[in-house]
Amino acid sequence: MDTQVKILPSGVRTGAPPLHRVKFRRATWVEVAPQLGTETHISTLAVYNGKLYGGTLILAKLYEWNGVNAWVEVAPQLNAQTNLYSLAVYNGKLYGSTYPGGRLFEWNGVNLWVEVAPQLGGEQFINNIAVYNGKLYGGTWPLSKLYEYGT
């Protein structure tokens, strides 16, 4: 027996057995920390050792959220890099990818970044880094390539 089911603009289904109705509450965003000085973006967030970290754009700094109401700077600007685009935890360490120059940095866990991989050929950005199957990968611009980091 074929039953034709229609869904009306109101979301009501006709021609089918009744469904359970579920009510969803709309969630809202609540500001928990003010703007970081002159920074224009918190471009990336990562959880590392149970704490929340944010990487920024225009000064490519690393901040740690105090868990209450403010960011605390934990690493200064990355050399001449202006954008800290992506953060990822790999082999128990926090890594950051950048622009310009598409470089990879490792945070020393205290107060500074150490460059661990130079610019990738003609790439200007490592837009995103992610860990997959125990390896660290980076996606780039302008050549849209995928790279695997080897230690």
Distance, in Å, from the CA atom of 137 to the CA atom of 114, rounded to the nearest integer, reads: 18
Q: Report yes or no on 132 lying in a domain.
A: yes
Of the candidates 27, 2, 29, 30, the one whose C-alpha atom is nearest the C-alpha of residue 15 is: 2
pLDDT at position 20:
52
pLDDT tens figures, 45-57: 999 999 999 999 9
Alpha-carbon span 7 to 14, nearest angstrom: 6
Asked, for residue 92, whether it belongs to a domain, the answer is yes
Segment 27-41, tens digit of pLDDT: 898 999 988 888 899
Cα dihedral 136/72/35/46 (nearest 10): 20
Residue 12 inside a domain? The answer is no
Asked whether residue 121 is assigned to any structural domain, the reply reads: yes
pTM: 0.80
**Confidence at residue 5, expressed as pLDDT on a 0 to 100 scale:** 53
pLDDT digits (tens, 9 = 90+) for 83-129: 999 999 999 999 999 999 899 999 999 999 999 999 888 899 999 99
Q: Is residue 137, in this structure, part of any structural domain at all?
A: yes
- Structural domain count of the chain: 1
> CA separation (Å) from 38 to 42, 51, 60, 92?
11, 23, 12, 31
52: domain CATH number? 2.120.10.80
Range of the domain at 73: 36-149
The token pair that represents 98 in the structure block: 């950048």
